[in-house]
Structure 1
Amino acid sequence: MRIKIGLFLLWLTASLIFISGPVVAENIPKVAIAMTSDGPWDEQQPIYELFKSEIQDLLGDEFEARFVDQSGTGADWTVGGVKSMIDRLLTDPNVDIIVTIGILSSHDVMTRRDLPKPVIASMVLDKCFQKLPEKDGASGITNLSYIAFPTTMMADIRLFREVVSFQKMAFVVSEYMLEGIPSLKNLKKEDIGGLNSDLDIQVISVGNSVEDALNAIPEDMEAVYVTPLIHLSDAELNQFIQGLIDRKLPSFSMMGEAEVEMGMMYGLRPHNFLKKLARRTALNLQSILLGEDAGTIACAFSIGNSPVLNQATCQEIGVYPSWSILTEAKVIRPDRKEEARKLTLSQAIKEVVHANLDLKAKDKEVAAGEQNINDARSNLLPQIDLSATGVQINEEQAGFQPEKTGTASATLTQVIFSDGALANYSVQKYRQNVLEEERRQLFLDTVLDVAEAYLNVLKALAAENIQSDNLKSTRLNKELAEVRVAVGYAGPGETYRWQSNLATDRKNVIVASASRNQAEIALNRILSRPAEERFVMEEAGAVNLNQITCDERILSYVDNPYAFRVLRSFMAEVARELSPELKQLDAAIAAQKRFLGTTKRAFFLPTLSLQAEAKNQFYEDGIGSEPNPLVESVDTNWSVGLNASFSLFKGGAKFADRKKAAEELSQLRVQRESLVEKIEQNIRINMHGAGATYASIRQAQDAAEAAKKSLDLITDSYSRGVVSLVDLVDAQNTALVANLAAANAVYDFIIDLMRVERAVGSFSVLRTNEETNVFFDRLDAYFENAGASDSIKR
């Protein structure tokens, strides 16, 4: 108590000096801090420096922290060594506060009831199992502050059994910990919270021989719970982990993510839990220096446990976690991600050009259409027919004509003039233009489809990540509720409410994961890839428009209403030039005009053709085949003829054809006018949509940022018992909605912009740099002609 009063008076004196005048270094209260370790180990120095840094950062200029030399604050992994070290530090007048950074030294001080100076025990194995002193959420022991996580070994094992079912479990613990906490030697399920099951627990001691420890695990063990084995080197720990994998034993690491990354199958504690623990230790130390008794500082502390799963280990040992586990856990080294193909939006668009089956089918139709032109042209080119005839007549008829003859002939026909044939040739070429524009229309539609599919995958992936983060927040809030219950801020009902929310959020993550899978399948279908082929999207998480598709220069023209109105008019003008739908109608109109002209000329133009024929009788035999001396024999005959034909009257059909062709031409022209209006309407509507989504990007991001700040504040207030559960749930839901809106905002804008480009008939992502520069030069010229150059934000 004298130490506490003395330190408080030092702080008070320093405060008065600060008020009255400048503070000099000699007037800052000094505090000597001894940070202990149970024994030497690989991570001893980094963790020591972590705690030291957090303490120095927090105390700042209020106190001058002096740390006792490490040579006098380390033990030798033995109970005697730890006890001797603690005894020495407690009686050392040059030590003001002791911080134990080790399970053995923390357990030692927590079993003492008479502490002459403040002690902070930062490493608690299991608050319930160690039966630590507690009064009103604190230790209740003068000068003793300890930090305990709300989760227990019982809770760990229950979660472990959700991942893999087992009845026999090896509880692996350091032999030094067994010596320091003797009750661990005869651990039963009742000792760790009364697990109501037939679980058989066997304690396995780990000394300096990893091989001996592995051999000590019985063959019938079905799972392994591993407590901190910090006395092992990293190489020895890796050897132990590999031994468990070779034995096909599922493992749970009490240390959490760091060891799961090394090969342990499952864990809860995140990478940064030691940093959070160091910060909480520093906060407790600050409270003590400011006059609070260590025995009244709350013990419960939430570190934000989050399940971590090593999927590679699961595959090696033959464990297949359920959907609920996979969707909640952070998965380490999943399914050889490096082998999945990488896909960007531009790559997807280039790939669809060559792979999409609809485009391939349309290419075949266009190729077939080329032959319609050749067929029409063939009617204008020479036609040559060859024939051979063999004839045999009866003997009675033979005489003047040989009984057996063989004749060959060749006929040449050439159309000299046929308005109908010429018109058909022209019409087929126009129809081919229609087919080619239909193909371009399908291409543009397909590009839009693949872009939307790609961006929908990004949206689904973002939604899945946000739902996963929300699930982690709910788990953290559940831990905070457990802390609130422990210190008396709330009743057990709050924990049940968060358990309910946790189940709901798990469901939301599963639904989000399914939506992402569905979006990926849709994209693979457009790319003609196997439906569930994996790929990695390089733009995942990107918010820079250039990283996705858009040339950001276009944003200068949507920054204000006046410039945006001029841009809409420009886009409508470009669409009238590039729209494949308009070009199809233009080709159809040209074909119909040509046909109408033919129906008019049918009243006075004839059809002229030339025909030439050569015939040779190359074979004669039988009766009548002998030469007649009175008649000259001629074997080859030929003829040439010119034909002119004209249909004088067809019962009024010519008038009907002309009238019909004229009406159909008028119909096409009206359709074109209507299509121009629809295209312009489509462009302007989509551009207004794009303008709205672009303007909402900043708002959505601001809303998400504000919601996050609000959530952080309310979470902190909730942990201190200032606000209610309802306030935190409302803040969390608001943050979830805001984060989803912010994640979708950029992608929605890109989708709207690409719909505009589809309506125009040209995609920026397909242009070369030169073509892009030409586009913007033309755009600037349009603005200059409209007198709107000053409205552009450069």
Structure 2
Amino acid sequence: MRFKICVFFLFFITVTSFSQTKVYDIGFLLDKSSNAIDVRLNDLENEIKAVIGEDAIIQYSDANRLINDFDIDLALKNYQTLLDNETDIIIAFGTLNNLMLTKQGNFPKPTILFGNVSQDLIDKPHFNNLKSIENFTAIITLQSYEEDLELLKELVNPRKVGVLIEESFLNYGNIDSTVEKLESKLDLELEVIPFASVDDILNNLDEMDAVYLLGGYYFSDSDIHKLADALIDRKIPSFTTTPINDVELGLLATSHDQTEVNQFFRRIALNVESIINEKEFPEIASLLELDKKLTININTANKLGLHLKYSLIVTTNIIGDATDLVADKKYTLVDVMQEAIEENLQLKTNKQDVLISEKDTQLAKSEYLPDVFVSATGDYVDPELAETANGQSPEWSTAGNVTLNQTIYSQAASANITIQKALQQAQQENYNSEELNTIFSASGAYFNALIYKANYKVQSQNLDLTKTNLQIATHNFEAGLTGKSDVLRFRSELTQNIQDLIIALNNMEQGFYELNKVLNNPIDSKIDVEDTELLEGSFQGYIYRQLAEFLDSPELRKTFVDFLIQEALENAPELKALDYNLIATERAEKLYSVGRFIPTLGLQGQYNYTFNRTGAGSTFPTFLTPPPNGYYYVGVNLSLPVFNQNKQNINKQIATIQSDQINLSKDDLKLTIEKSINDAILQLVNEISNIELSKVFEETSKEALELTQTSYANGAVNIVQLLDAQNNYLEAQLSVSTATYNYLYGLMELERYLGTYFLLQTEDEHAEFLQRFIEFTNNN
């Protein structure tokens, strides 16, 4: 019985307690609404409920979200509506609501006004000295048009700036006089452009070097996207007074960040809590001082062709992907390989050597072409001498002749043709080797650019991480959890990180310079490289999946290596070049041995014709028969060198030595190829394990960093542990960013030794390669 009485008593107390919990209805006064505004109001509502907890029941009604659409009379009417209905607390935001409420003499219901105003438009000391007003407080943040325009000027140094202001705001502020003062003070040409829509802005941007957006809080995300894209297309930088979200959507810069909104909401929630607890407002109308930080969308900056000053990096919050570059051309690995073949200057130079060797072959063949000479003469002889020559040497005469020399057979000429053909083919193989080297060098430049680009991104993220840790250290110092030494240490780290970022940026630029050189582009060409991953992008083909399986299989690896060595020996252009050089040398050796006993056979012929004979002695005596004016002769000659100063024997000995030398070079090259294949395979196996381990390292170091950050913020660990965790994470990120690229670069190195690149082959050629491996495996 006593137990039932106790239960009833406890139930009665609980019901009584719940019945005494007071319900509060909160209403909102807005100038305008949008999806973004609705989302932020929902966040505010949740913040208020979180702070109030179980002290009261908070209710919101869509009917109590009243909008004035920039109509001052409607704003007053909306306020009166909330005074007359069940609303207990009024929260107002917006320029017109600000003007309307500050004119009220008294406030029957608790009213909270929040927003931001420009210190260029208000008397800050007067605002701070406002007296307490019953049932009213205003939480206002200051923004400075002057400071924003100074930042814009430092960023882009514009001449004429369009000041974008909502039409409704022009009716309630002294904007024109403020703009005139700023023009004179900042030495800028400022033109006010009122707007009610994005199109109003876009239709009035002629001759603008930059724009400064005042307002635009009620633009939708799609409106901001539209505005940002249009400004980027017209190469017009933008600075906005709206929060960081609009910069994330594509505008260039702002001096506001997300913490402003969060601080607003927490202050409003605390004031609501004071009302519920029947206390006075914890503060009178006041300014909420916030740390301002320049925020820049790095992708927008890149599209506009702007380069951030190093002096601004320390204090600037950079959003976006710093490695998402604006380029005239973005290369894949296959693009790089193909363009290197077509455009590389060194390769073009080597191509000329092939053309020269072709001409040398043609020159050797020309020994069997006829050699024809045509000549003409005109003679004058002393008349007295001509008279005594019996017509053989007339005073005046002109004649001409045609001479023909034709080699019918020459052992030396035939040998030279064979030698030059072999040397031409050797030169072609040398070119093929250089082509493989050029492709490999271009691939190396491509992967280096990717590594530099990834490192730049990691260093950028690490800089942001240091800034975050500096904020934590600053908060801990202000709360008395740590000393100032932590703040100073992170400032030192920040300086070092900035230097590391600058070095990473310059390395990335140098990587692009090297790639431009390989591809015969102007060195300063704006290019980018498309990221690639293992078994993705260019490497997603079946052949690479098979290679990965063969390398990962201990049973197949030895057989696969032997097969690759066989393929490399068959494909190696260096070996083929030596083979052709050996052919040339052996032919020379044959020429200087038995070939020297084979005679050279030639044909000669000449035709002579006398065109004119005049003057003294031009007639023959009657007892002599005059020769014909035209006559010819033909002859065959046979020559055989009997003793040529022993040069034949010496040349034979030289050719024999050269043959031995080439054979030794071939043996050495085969060993080098075999070793290179084995080394490349071992390196690939190492990189496969490195890829997996680096991923695990990154995941664990990231988790460890997050835990250490939380512990440091709570004063549970010291700065050394946080720095170690951050450095470990940085090292892990760098390892991950390079591990895959090193593996893919190793694949390209293996293919270079094989004498072929799978990326430049067809699927049929891949299938033939795999079929040869299957046959090799079956035979071995």
Q: Is the 8 A contact 1:309 1:329 kept in 2?
A: no
SS at match of 1:402: coil
Bigger drift between 431-440 and 49-58 goes to: 49-58
The TM-score, its normalising length taken from structure 2, stands at: 0.72
Distance (Å, rounded) in 1 between the aligned partners of 2:712 and 2:343:
55
Bigger drift between 487-496 and 461-470 goes to: 487-496
Q: Gaps (5+ residues) in structure 2? A: 1-9, 102-108, 119-123, 129-137, 179-184, 202-208, 283-287
- Given the alignment of the two structures, is residue 398 of structure 1 paired with residue 379 of structure 2, yes or no? no
Partner of 1:481: 473
Q: Is the 8 A contact 1:414 1:610 kept in 2?
A: yes
Partner of 2:43: 51
Partner of 2:206: none
Distance (Å, rounded) in 2 between the aligned partners of 1:239 and 1:738:
39
- Given the alignment of the two structures, is residue 522 of structure 1 paired with residue 514 of structure 2, yes or no? yes
The amino acid that maps onto 1:342 is: K
Partner of 1:71: 63
> Which deviations, in whole Å up to 9, do the C-alpha atoms of 1:159-188 show, x marking residues without a partner?
77975899xx9999999999x9x9xxxx9x
Q: Structure 1 pair 483/336, CA: closer, same or farther in 2 (3 Å)?
A: closer
Distance (Å, rounded) in 1 between the aligned partners of 2:593 and 2:302:
83
Q: Structure 1 pair 483/86, CA: closer, same or farther in 2 (3 Å)?
A: farther
Q: Is the 8 A contact 2:29 2:97 kept in 1?
A: yes
Distance (Å, rounded) in 1 between the aligned partners of 2:325 and 2:165:
34
- The 5-angstrom pairing of residues 521-560 of structure 1 reads 521-537=513-529, 539-540=530-531, 542-549=532-539, 551=541, 552-553=544-545, 554-560=547-553
State the 1:450 CA deviation: 1.3
The amino acid that maps onto 2:390 is: G
Q: 1:585 aligns with which of 575, 578, 581?
A: 578
> Which deviations, in whole Å up to 9, do the C-alpha atoms of 1:537-568 show, x marking residues without a partner?
3x23x434431446432211111334333322
- The 5-angstrom pairing of residues 665-684 of structure 1 reads 665-684=659-678
Partner of 2:740: 746
- Given the alignment of the two structures, is residue 610 of structure 1 paired with residue 581 of structure 2, yes or no? no
Distance (Å, rounded) in 1 between the aligned partners of 2:761 and 2:401:
60
Bigger drift between 452-461 and 359-368 goes to: 359-368
Q: 1:325 aligns with which of 301, 312, 316?
A: 312
Q: 1:411 aligns with which of 403, 426, 436?
A: 403
State the 1:379 CA deviation: 1.1
Partner of 1:620: 613
Distance (Å, rounded) in 1 between the aligned partners of 2:510 and 2:66:
57
State the 1:345 CA deviation: 1.9
> Which deviations, in whole Å up to 9, do the C-alpha atoms of 1:395-445 show, x marking residues without a partner?
315324132333322233232322111111100001101111121112111
State the 1:75 CA deviation: 7.1
Q: Is the 8 A contact 1:256 1:266 kept in 2?
A: no
SS at match of 1:425: helix
User: Could you say what the CA RMSD is over the residues aligned between the two structures, in angstroms?
Assistant: 6.0
Q: Structure 1 pair 130/280, CA: closer, same or farther in 2 (3 Å)?
A: farther
Distance (Å, rounded) in 1 between the aligned partners of 2:571 and 2:325:
42
SS at match of 2:562: helix
The amino acid that maps onto 1:684 is: N
Distance (Å, rounded) in 2 between the aligned partners of 1:449 and 1:281:
61
| Matched-pair identity in % | 24
Q: How many residue pairs align between the two structures?
A: 709
- The 5-angstrom pairing of residues 423-502 of structure 1 reads 423-502=415-494
Bigger drift between 341-350 and 523-532 goes to: 341-350
> Which deviations, in whole Å up to 9, do the C-alpha atoms of 1:174-212 show, x marking residues without a partner?
99999x9x9xxxx9xxxxxxxxxx999xxx9999999xx
Q: Is the 8 A contact 2:115 2:141 kept in 1?
A: no
- The 5-angstrom pairing of residues 243-392 of structure 1 reads 253-260=240-247, 266-269=253-256, 306-308=295-297, 321-325=308-312, 330=318, 340-392=328-380
Partner of 1:780: 774
SS at match of 2:354: helix
State the 1:595 CA deviation: 0.8
> Which deviations, in whole Å up to 9, do the C-alpha atoms of 1:218-259 show, x marking residues without a partner?
xxxx999988663789999999999x99xx999754534344
The amino acid that maps onto 2:533 is: V
Partner of 1:574: 567
Q: 1:710 aligns with which of 669, 689, 704?
A: 704
Q: Structure 1 pair 693/240, CA: closer, same or farther in 2 (3 Å)?
A: closer
SS at match of 1:68: strand
Partner of 1:22: none
> Which deviations, in whole Å up to 9, do the C-alpha atoms of 1:489-545 show, x marking residues without a partner?
3344433332222222222211111111111111111111111111233x23x4344
State the 1:701 CA deviation: 1.9
Distance (Å, rounded) in 1 between the aligned partners of 2:605 and 2:87:
128
Partner of 1:764: 758
The amino acid that maps onto 2:564 is: M
State the 1:32 CA deviation: 7.8
The TM-score, its normalising length taken from structure 1, stands at: 0.71
Partner of 1:4: none
Q: Is the 8 A contact 2:564 2:677 kept in 1?
A: yes
Bigger drift between 614-623 and 351-360 goes to: 614-623
SS at match of 2:627: coil
Bigger drift between 428-437 and 387-396 goes to: 387-396
The amino acid that maps onto 2:536 is: N
Q: Is the 8 A contact 2:163 2:193 kept in 1?
A: no
